[in-house]
Amino acid sequence: MPGNSLKNNIDKEKLPKHVAIIMDGNGRWAKKQGLPRIYGHKKGSNAVREVVEACVELEIPYLTLYAFSTENWNRPKDEIEALMNLLIEALEQEMENLMKNNIRLHAIGDLQKLPEKTYKQLKKTLELTANNKTLTVTLALSYSSHWEITEMVKKIVNAVLTQKIKPDEINKTIIEQHLNTYPLPFPDLLIRTSGEFRISNFLLYQLAYTELYFTNVLWPDFNKEEFYKAIIDYQKRERRFGKVIDK
Protein backbone atom coordinates (compact mmCIF):
# COMPACT_ATOMS: atom_id res chain seq x y z
CA MET A 1 0.00 0.00 0.00
CA PRO A 2 1.20 3.57 -0.69
CA GLY A 3 1.01 4.52 2.98
CA ASN A 4 3.27 1.65 3.96
CA SER A 5 5.86 2.54 1.34
CA LEU A 6 5.89 6.16 2.53
CA LYS A 7 6.28 5.02 6.12
CA ASN A 8 9.30 3.00 5.06
CA ASN A 9 10.94 6.19 3.76
CA ILE A 10 10.77 7.88 7.16
CA ASP A 11 14.04 8.21 9.06
CA LYS A 12 13.27 7.13 12.63
CA GLU A 13 16.29 9.12 13.83
CA LYS A 14 14.93 12.46 12.55
CA LEU A 15 11.37 12.42 13.80
CA PRO A 16 9.76 15.55 15.23
CA LYS A 17 9.17 15.28 18.95
CA HIS A 18 6.01 17.39 18.80
CA VAL A 19 3.59 17.82 15.88
CA ALA A 20 0.83 20.44 15.97
CA ILE A 21 -2.07 20.44 13.49
CA ILE A 22 -4.60 23.05 12.40
CA MET A 23 -7.43 20.77 11.31
CA ASP A 24 -9.07 22.87 8.60
CA GLY A 25 -11.59 22.11 5.87
CA ASN A 26 -14.39 20.16 7.56
CA GLY A 27 -17.08 22.59 6.41
CA ARG A 28 -15.79 22.76 2.85
CA TRP A 29 -15.60 18.97 2.68
CA ALA A 30 -19.24 18.70 3.75
CA LYS A 31 -20.30 21.37 1.25
CA LYS A 32 -18.57 19.47 -1.57
CA GLN A 33 -20.58 16.39 -0.57
CA GLY A 34 -23.82 18.42 -0.42
CA LEU A 35 -24.07 17.76 3.33
CA PRO A 36 -24.51 19.97 6.43
CA ARG A 37 -21.25 21.20 8.00
CA ILE A 38 -21.54 18.90 11.02
CA TYR A 39 -21.03 15.87 8.76
CA GLY A 40 -17.62 17.26 7.88
CA HIS A 41 -16.75 17.48 11.57
CA LYS A 42 -17.91 13.88 12.09
CA LYS A 43 -15.78 12.68 9.18
CA GLY A 44 -12.89 14.71 10.57
CA SER A 45 -12.92 12.48 13.67
CA ASN A 46 -11.63 9.64 11.49
CA ALA A 47 -8.68 11.79 10.45
CA VAL A 48 -7.88 12.45 14.12
CA ARG A 49 -7.87 8.71 14.77
CA GLU A 50 -5.54 8.09 11.80
CA VAL A 51 -3.04 10.72 12.92
CA VAL A 52 -3.06 9.54 16.54
CA GLU A 53 -2.40 5.97 15.37
CA ALA A 54 0.42 7.19 13.11
CA CYS A 55 2.07 9.04 16.02
CA VAL A 56 1.88 5.92 18.20
CA GLU A 57 3.37 3.77 15.43
CA LEU A 58 6.21 6.25 14.77
CA GLU A 59 6.73 6.86 18.52
CA ILE A 60 6.17 10.62 18.24
CA PRO A 61 5.50 11.61 21.87
CA TYR A 62 3.48 14.85 21.48
CA LEU A 63 0.56 15.79 19.23
CA THR A 64 -1.45 19.00 19.56
CA LEU A 65 -4.72 19.50 17.68
CA TYR A 66 -6.40 22.89 17.20
CA ALA A 67 -9.96 21.71 17.81
CA PHE A 68 -11.92 24.88 18.69
CA SER A 69 -10.69 28.47 18.78
CA THR A 70 -12.01 31.37 20.85
CA GLU A 71 -13.19 32.87 17.54
CA ASN A 72 -15.25 29.74 16.87
CA TRP A 73 -17.69 30.83 19.58
CA ASN A 74 -18.97 33.30 16.95
CA ARG A 75 -20.26 30.45 14.77
CA PRO A 76 -24.01 29.67 14.57
CA LYS A 77 -25.38 28.39 17.89
CA ASP A 78 -26.62 25.09 16.43
CA GLU A 79 -23.19 24.32 14.94
CA ILE A 80 -21.45 25.02 18.26
CA GLU A 81 -23.92 22.80 20.09
CA ALA A 82 -23.40 20.01 17.56
CA LEU A 83 -19.61 20.34 17.88
CA MET A 84 -19.76 20.13 21.67
CA ASN A 85 -21.98 17.04 21.51
CA LEU A 86 -19.61 15.50 18.98
CA LEU A 87 -16.69 16.14 21.34
CA ILE A 88 -18.52 14.37 24.19
CA GLU A 89 -19.30 11.44 21.92
CA ALA A 90 -15.70 11.20 20.69
CA LEU A 91 -14.29 11.32 24.24
CA GLU A 92 -16.62 8.52 25.33
CA GLN A 93 -15.95 6.36 22.29
CA GLU A 94 -12.17 6.76 22.31
CA MET A 95 -11.60 6.07 26.02
CA GLU A 96 -10.87 2.38 25.46
CA ASN A 97 -8.35 3.16 22.69
CA LEU A 98 -6.67 5.85 24.79
CA MET A 99 -6.12 3.42 27.66
CA LYS A 100 -5.14 0.48 25.42
CA ASN A 101 -2.51 2.56 23.61
CA ASN A 102 -1.27 4.31 26.76
CA ILE A 103 -2.30 7.75 25.42
CA ARG A 104 -2.64 10.73 27.72
CA LEU A 105 -5.23 13.34 26.81
CA HIS A 106 -4.34 16.92 27.69
CA ALA A 107 -6.20 20.18 27.00
CA ILE A 108 -5.30 23.85 26.72
CA GLY A 109 -7.50 26.90 26.38
CA ASP A 110 -10.23 28.72 28.28
CA LEU A 111 -11.87 25.44 29.28
CA GLN A 112 -14.28 27.06 31.74
CA LYS A 113 -16.14 28.47 28.73
CA LEU A 114 -17.11 24.98 27.57
CA PRO A 115 -20.68 23.83 28.26
CA GLU A 116 -20.90 22.05 31.63
CA LYS A 117 -21.61 18.61 30.16
CA THR A 118 -18.70 18.91 27.73
CA TYR A 119 -16.34 20.15 30.43
CA LYS A 120 -17.28 17.29 32.79
CA GLN A 121 -16.62 14.63 30.14
CA LEU A 122 -13.34 16.28 29.18
CA LYS A 123 -12.22 16.52 32.81
CA LYS A 124 -13.12 12.86 33.38
CA THR A 125 -11.05 11.78 30.34
CA LEU A 126 -8.09 13.95 31.38
CA GLU A 127 -8.09 12.40 34.85
CA LEU A 128 -8.44 8.80 33.68
CA THR A 129 -5.59 9.11 31.16
CA ALA A 130 -3.31 11.30 33.30
CA ASN A 131 -0.72 8.58 33.97
CA ASN A 132 -0.44 7.29 30.38
CA LYS A 133 3.01 7.77 28.85
CA THR A 134 3.26 6.71 25.19
CA LEU A 135 1.72 9.79 23.55
CA THR A 136 0.32 13.06 24.87
CA VAL A 137 -2.53 14.32 22.69
CA THR A 138 -3.36 17.94 23.50
CA LEU A 139 -6.69 19.40 22.42
CA ALA A 140 -6.70 23.17 22.01
CA LEU A 141 -10.28 24.04 22.98
CA SER A 142 -11.64 27.57 23.31
CA TYR A 143 -8.02 28.52 22.64
CA SER A 144 -6.27 31.38 20.90
CA SER A 145 -2.79 32.80 21.27
CA HIS A 146 -4.15 36.27 21.98
CA TRP A 147 -6.10 34.81 24.91
CA GLU A 148 -3.09 32.77 26.08
CA ILE A 149 -0.66 35.71 25.93
CA THR A 150 -3.12 37.95 27.76
CA GLU A 151 -3.49 35.31 30.50
CA MET A 152 0.30 34.92 30.68
CA VAL A 153 0.72 38.68 31.24
CA LYS A 154 -1.94 38.65 33.98
CA LYS A 155 -0.22 35.75 35.77
CA ILE A 156 3.19 37.41 35.69
CA VAL A 157 1.78 40.76 36.83
CA ASN A 158 0.07 38.98 39.72
CA ALA A 159 3.31 37.19 40.60
CA VAL A 160 5.09 40.55 40.71
CA LEU A 161 2.34 42.18 42.80
CA THR A 162 2.43 39.31 45.29
CA GLN A 163 6.24 39.56 45.36
CA LYS A 164 6.79 36.01 44.11
CA ILE A 165 9.10 37.40 41.43
CA LYS A 166 10.80 40.75 40.85
CA PRO A 167 10.25 42.69 37.59
CA ASP A 168 13.92 42.38 36.62
CA GLU A 169 13.66 38.58 37.02
CA ILE A 170 11.19 38.30 34.14
CA ASN A 171 12.92 36.52 31.28
CA LYS A 172 12.23 33.98 28.53
CA THR A 173 12.01 31.12 31.02
CA ILE A 174 9.53 32.93 33.26
CA ILE A 175 7.35 33.83 30.26
CA GLU A 176 7.31 30.26 28.95
CA GLN A 177 6.51 28.85 32.39
CA HIS A 178 3.37 31.01 32.46
CA LEU A 179 2.09 29.98 29.03
CA ASN A 180 -0.94 27.70 28.90
CA THR A 181 1.11 25.06 27.07
CA TYR A 182 3.73 24.69 29.82
CA PRO A 183 5.44 22.21 30.29
CA LEU A 184 4.88 20.85 26.77
CA PRO A 185 7.86 21.21 24.41
CA PHE A 186 7.36 23.64 21.53
CA PRO A 187 6.20 22.03 18.25
CA ASP A 188 8.84 20.96 15.75
CA LEU A 189 6.30 20.70 12.93
CA LEU A 190 3.00 22.47 12.26
CA ILE A 191 0.65 20.97 9.68
CA ARG A 192 -2.27 22.95 8.25
CA THR A 193 -4.78 21.31 5.94
CA SER A 194 -7.21 22.72 3.31
CA GLY A 195 -4.82 25.00 1.39
CA GLU A 196 -4.86 27.99 3.74
CA PHE A 197 -1.50 29.67 4.38
CA ARG A 198 -1.88 31.16 7.86
CA ILE A 199 -1.60 30.05 11.47
CA SER A 200 -4.86 31.58 12.68
CA ASN A 201 -3.97 32.75 16.18
CA PHE A 202 -2.51 29.34 17.11
CA LEU A 203 0.61 28.94 19.31
CA LEU A 204 2.08 32.24 18.10
CA TYR A 205 4.85 32.29 20.72
CA GLN A 206 5.58 28.57 20.50
CA LEU A 207 5.87 28.44 16.69
CA ALA A 208 8.85 30.81 16.48
CA TYR A 209 11.16 28.12 15.03
CA THR A 210 8.61 25.50 14.02
CA GLU A 211 8.72 24.05 10.50
CA LEU A 212 5.45 24.80 8.66
CA TYR A 213 3.77 22.35 6.28
CA PHE A 214 0.69 23.29 4.24
CA THR A 215 -1.41 20.88 2.23
CA ASN A 216 -4.47 21.34 0.01
CA VAL A 217 -6.04 18.17 1.45
CA LEU A 218 -9.21 18.91 3.42
CA TRP A 219 -9.04 17.62 6.99
CA PRO A 220 -11.65 14.81 6.60
CA ASP A 221 -9.50 13.38 3.76
CA PHE A 222 -6.27 13.58 5.76
CA ASN A 223 -4.94 10.12 6.65
CA LYS A 224 -1.76 8.29 7.65
CA GLU A 225 -0.33 8.57 4.13
CA GLU A 226 -0.78 12.35 4.17
CA PHE A 227 0.77 12.50 7.62
CA TYR A 228 3.78 10.51 6.42
CA LYS A 229 4.18 12.98 3.53
CA ALA A 230 4.39 15.82 6.06
CA ILE A 231 6.97 13.96 8.14
CA ILE A 232 9.11 13.17 5.08
CA ASP A 233 8.96 16.82 4.00
CA TYR A 234 9.98 17.89 7.52
CA GLN A 235 12.98 15.57 7.38
CA LYS A 236 14.25 17.36 4.27
CA ARG A 237 14.42 20.67 6.15
CA GLU A 238 17.62 22.06 7.67
CA ARG A 239 16.71 23.42 11.09
CA ARG A 240 19.17 26.21 11.93
CA PHE A 241 17.36 28.13 14.71
CA GLY A 242 19.01 31.35 13.51
CA LYS A 243 22.50 29.82 13.32
CA VAL A 244 24.76 29.32 10.32
CA ILE A 245 25.41 25.68 9.45
CA ASP A 246 28.77 25.00 7.79
CA LYS A 247 28.59 22.60 4.87
The 10s digit of each residue's pLDDT in 128-178 is 999 999 999 999 999 999 999 999 999 999 999 999 999 999 999 999 999
Give the separation between CA 80 and CA 86, rounded to whole angstroms: 10
pLDDT at 223 over 80: yes
- Side-chain-side CA neighbours of 145 within 13 Å: the count stands at 11
pLDDT at 244 over 80: no
Q: pLDDT above 70 covers what percent of the chain? A: 96
Q: Which helix (H) or strand (E) holds 62?
A: strand 62-69
Please give the pLDDT value at position 1: 46
Q: Using only the alpha carbons of the chain, give its radius of gyration.
A: 19
Give the separation between CA 141 and CA 54, rounded to whole angstroms: 22
Residues pairing with 18 in the sheet = 62
pTM: 0.94
Give the separation between CA 205 and CA 225, rounded to whole angstroms: 29
For residue 5, name the pLDDT band (cuts at 50, 70, 90). Answer: confident
145 alpha-carbon distance from chain centroid:
13
The 10s digit of each residue's pLDDT in 21-79 is 999 999 999 999 999 999 999 999 999 999 999 999 999 999 999 999 999 999 999 99
Span 80-93, average pLDDT: 96
Task: List, in order of start, the domains of the chain with CATH numbers.
Answer: 13-143+186-233 (3.40.1180.10)
Residues taking part in catalysis: 24, 72
